[in-house]
Amino acid sequence: MSTSSSDLSAASANAHGKLKSSEGRQSRQRKAHSNVAHSPSQQDILLFLLAFRILNALTIRTFFQPDEYFQSLEPAWQMVFGENCGAWITWEWKNALRSAIHPAIFATIYYLTNLGVDMIRLTPATRAELLLAAPKLLQAFFAALGDYYTWQLAQRVFGHHSCQVWATLALTVLSPWQWFCSTRTLSNSLETTLTVAALYNWPWQWSLGDRGHARYDDRGLRKREDIADDAVDETTRLRRCLLLAALATILRPTNLLIWISVAAMTCLNMSSVWWYCGFARSPWKGSDMSTSSRSISFLRATTRERSTLFWESFLCGSTVLILSVFVDRFYYQFWTFPPLKFLYFNLVQSLSVFYGKNDWHYYLSQGFPLLLITALPFTLVGLYNGLLCTDSSITTLTRTILSQIATISCIVPTALSLISHKEVRFIYPLLPLLHILAAGPLIQFFAPSFIHAPRSRHIPPNALLKRLVLCFLILLNATIAIYTTTIHGRGVIDVLSYLRHQHETFYLSSQTHNPNRDPNSNMIANKNLTAAFLMPCHSTPWRSHLIHPGISAWALTCEPPLHLSAGEKASYIDEADAFYSDPLLWIRRNMSRQPPPPRAGVFTARDKQNQHRRLAERNDERKRAWPDYLIFFSAAEQIMDTALQGSGYSECWRGFNSHWHDDLRRRGDVVVWCLFPERKIKMDHKDGMVGLIHKAKRLLGCA
């Protein structure tokens, strides 16, 4: 009887425990559903990112790379406004090295903006501001899509609502490099967006060796585990991926390195390759391959998956290739294939070395640190974990994807290191992958500092220290982002705003009240502003920021030696280098014999000046006439003082550019000398103080 009583008691306790466990499970499920209900939707995230990147794009005031303008906006401007619009078309476009698809995208927004301006009949100044903002807003949209698909790819890797997903989004939003570069009109920025969007649609599940528990669609392809049955089918997703990948490769041929790596790791059983190379441990766990020396199978995807991948790659690649060929035919007016020419000029002729040669370890010592800044330590840990698969708590799919993107992040910089000319933006498409790798270590390091007893108000010292470190890293990121986008390198942008406003104030004053004017009819005699940029080549944007056709400007060039022998290339000096090697000699050889003398001012008749210029051009047509405005860096100011002593030029504007620069010729302020000292737009307080200090120094020096 006692035994029966004890059994009943045990059964009752067991039932009670199961009931409590069931209640606990239901409570956790309700809590999870509550969290999901209150979590932001995909649309909310996309709208936030779009607003964030628009703010980002409209607040950038600094210069980064010439390609931001000369490889996108200048050709786009020419497409819309014609060959005589004043756009600067560089040697790459004259030799058909670039695909016209990228500038064609911005040509579309230029055309639509200009069409709207003509319909509304806005003033030239308003037209200029809208044409300045239009490509920025378009690139902000592309940047927001890049951030969004980075977040989506993180969901694909870690699962929905995981902490790593939100850590990836935070890393992307708080990245100084993303704030600095993502909204710039570089082909690398669009390449990054296309790459991460394509990787989101890539069939990562085809890399899994375990096929027994997989779900298959009607075509015999393994389906994604995180997608509902009524979602987009695998073939459609694969086509999206391959179209985006092909477009990214057309824009930047080196993007092919990413897709060769991804395809190889999907189709080949890479664990076999690692075993064959002598590695004792497979980097991809969960493979169905035996580690027996007799088991060497190099195939991972199924036969149907491999054939589908091959066939769809051919179709999608051909489609994008045909589109590219016709766009290039329309732009260049002859049949050409720019990616092939690009590889020939840069690899066979090594003309890229003309623009700089870097150490073999550049991407390791400078590239990754510049891309990642404060996220670098977490990324290195993530790379280590991904390559060696040290985390056994994650799913096989997560481990596989992390391993593959870690491998890609090593293969691509290694391959690019074989090329002498290196730039950090060449590995920019890897940044979303690096943020995903960094998310796990970031959570592991900081998450425990935010978890403590709910009734305890005391925060452990170690947790408090980590919180302070996190705040410091965020503050450091914000400081770097603000400095690089609003302070460092802003003078070369501000000077174009100054010239544009000068033109609108003094050269367009007679046209602003004409409601029937043509905004492109400013090319009127004696109504043109002339300017010369005596700077290293491509130091400033060009027509995309000058805007007005009535601004006639020229600058020092740096065309590469395309058709010279190896010996002649070694001794070749471009125009910019020739100027800086001996400015006085260059001025005597290339400018009209005498600079304009001092004149009474702005109201003096321009006939004498025009006669002087026509006489100088008649004497030597190869020499340039002296312009209304001379623009140069303060590093050349002493030389210009000597060369133009006693002339009619005097300083009329000065703008801060940089505290430091790796190019000595570009250090200091941007200075403008003009023939019309009365034509000054009131500078802001900061620039005014800089000008007063400089004038005081000159007066003291003369004294």
C-beta separation of 249 from 259 below 8 A? yes
Contacts of 180 (CB under 8 A, 6+ apart): 64, 481, 484, 485
Q: Which two tokens stand for residue 540?
A: 């400033």
Per-residue pLDDT, 620:
58
Contacts of 675 (CB under 8 A, 6+ apart): 596, 599, 609, 626, 628, 629, 648, 649
Burial string for 382-420 (b: 16+ CB within 10 Å, else e) reads bbebbbebeeeebebbbbbbbbbbbbbbebbbeebbebe
| Other beta carbons less than 10 A from residue 27's beta carbon | 10
Per-residue pLDDT, 679:
53
What's the one-letter identity of residue 475? L
Separation of alpha carbons 289 and 298, rounded Å: 10
Give the helix/strand (H/E) hosting 594: none
Separation of alpha carbons 517 and 509, rounded Å: 12
User: SS3 letters for 198-241?
Assistant: HHHHCCHHHHCCCCCCCCECCCCCECCCCCCCCCCCHHHHHHHH
Q: Which two tokens stand for residue 324?
A: 């590219």
Q: Which two tokens stand for residue 208?
A: 């899994």
Per-residue pLDDT, 1:
45
Question: Which position has the higher pLDDT, 591 or 5?
Answer: 591
Separation of alpha carbons 329 and 193, rounded Å: 26
Banded model confidence at residue 627, pLDDT cuts 50, 70, 90: very high
Q: Which two tokens stand for residue 341?
A: 């020419």
Cα angle: 112, vertex 115, 117; to 5 degrees: 110
Separation of alpha carbons 329 and 217, rounded Å: 41
Separation of alpha carbons 181 and 161, rounded Å: 28
Q: Please state the pTM of the whole predicted model.
A: 0.84
C-beta separation of 50 from 57 below 8 A? no
In three-state secondary structure terms, 285 is coil
DSSP H helical ranges for 431-518: 431-446, 461-486, 491-502
Per-residue pLDDT, 289:
38
Cα angle: 209, vertex 211, 215; to 5 degrees: 135
* 533 alpha carbon, distance to own chain's centre: 26
Could you write out the DSSP letters of every residue in 34-98? HHHHHSPPHHHHHHHHHHHHHHHHHH------THHHHTTHHHHHHHHH-TTS-----HHHHTT-S
Beta bridge partners of 653: 672
Lowest mean pLDDT among 131-145, 272-286, 433-447: 272-286
**What's the mean per-residue pLDDT of the chain?**
82
Supply φ then ψ for residue 398, to 5 degrees. -60, -45
Q: Compute the half-sphere exposure of residue 41: CA atoms within 13 Å on the CB side of its CA.
A: 4
Residue keyed to tokens 């064959």: 276
CA 618, 619, 621, 624 dihedral sign is negative
Supply φ then ψ for residue 312, to 5 degrees. -65, -35
Give the helix/strand (H/E) hosting 487: none
Give the helix/strand (H/E) hosting 569: helix 566-570
Q: What is the pLDDT of residues 451-467, one digit of tens each?
A: 765 556 677 888 889 99
Question: Which position has the higher pLDDT, 219 or 143?
Answer: 143
Q: What is the pLDDT of residues 397-420, one digit of tens each?
A: 899 899 999 999 999 999 999 988
Per-residue pLDDT, 513:
42
Which of 552, 524, 544, 546 has its CA nearest to residue 629? 552
C-beta separation of 528 from 550 below 8 A? yes
Per-residue pLDDT, 691:
52
Separation of alpha carbons 27 and 30, rounded Å: 5
Separation of alpha carbons 81 and 114, rounded Å: 10
Give the helix/strand (H/E) hosting 251: helix 234-251
Residue keyed to tokens 């090594």: 350
In three-state secondary structure terms, 651 is strand
Beta bridge partners of 670: 633, 655
* Model confidence at 578: pLDDT above 70: yes
In three-state secondary structure terms, 555 is strand
Q: Is 690 exposed, middle or buried (0-12, 13-18, 19+ CB in 10 A)?
A: middle
Supply φ then ψ for residue 93, to 5 degrees. -80, -30
Q: Which two tokens stand for residue 105?
A: 């995208």
Question: Which position has the higher pLDDT, 502 or 216?
Answer: 502
Per-residue pLDDT, 645:
85
Separation of alpha carbons 346 and 62, rounded Å: 28
Q: What is the pLDDT of residues 143-200, one digit of tens each?
A: 999 999 999 999 999 988 899 999 999 999 999 999 999 999 999 999 999 999 999 9
DSSP H helical ranges for 333-375: 338-343, 362, 368-372
C-beta separation of 669 from 690 below 8 A? yes
Q: Is 169 exposed, middle or buried (0-12, 13-18, 19+ CB in 10 A)?
A: buried
Lowest mean pLDDT among 111-125, 321-335, 424-438, 503-517: 503-517
Could you write out the DSSP letters of every residue in 154-178? HHHHH-TT-HHHHHHHHHHHT-HHH
Radius of gyration of the chain (CA): 31
Question: Which position has the higher pLDDT, 248 or 341?
Answer: 248
Q: What is the pLDDT of residues 464-479, one digit of tens each?
A: 899 999 999 999 999 9
Which of 465, 518, 412, 388 has its CA nearest to residue 118? 518
Share of the chain above pLDDT 90, in %: 55
Q: What is the pLDDT of residues 533-564, one digit of tens each?
A: 999 999 999 999 999 999 999 999 988 877 76
* 61 alpha carbon, distance to own chain's centre: 15
* Model confidence at 333: pLDDT above 60: yes
Q: Which two tokens stand for residue 675?
A: 């023939």
